Amino acid sequence: MSKLFRQEPPMDLLSLLLKELGFTGVTDTKLFSTGELKTDTLDTWIPLLEPYYLPCKAKRYFDVLDSRRIITILRHVLPFHGFKLQSYERHHLGKKRTVYQIHPATPRIVAQGEDICVMFL
């Protein structure tokens, strides 16, 4: 059982959250930074996600929402569905910035439901 959630957030809620933030879905592997997130759509998905959090944690994470808190919320929700948010430091025009990318938590999630053939030579 999670120390953050009352119950596991459903996959359709995660898909809605990602679409509202500007992604195509959980399989979208583009690199993004905190400044590239669409924060004008928070009113559509925050009321849907907040009831899944424990009350004391919801107060902490949903009190003041900025792009850093959205990244934190993504880090909380993605592992339930077999994905993780990987961060990288990049230097661009002499400035260091952090970029993020959604990855499958394990390689088997990518191949789930597909036939795998291993040939030994």
Summarised one tens digit per residue, pLDDT across range 57-72 is 888 888 888 888 899 9
User: Mind listing the pLDDT tens digit for each residue in 20-57?
Assistant: 888 888 888 888 888 888 888 888 888 888 889 988 88
Token pair 């990518």 is at which residue?
110
Residue 91 reports pLDDT greater than 50 = yes
At 109 the pLDDT is: 47
pTM score, two decimals? 0.77
- In order of 4, 36, 86, 89, 96, the CA distances from 14 in angstroms are 16, 18, 17, 25, 29
Cβ neighbours of residue 111 closer than 8 Å, sequence gap 6 or more: none
Q: What is the DSSP letter of 53?
A: B
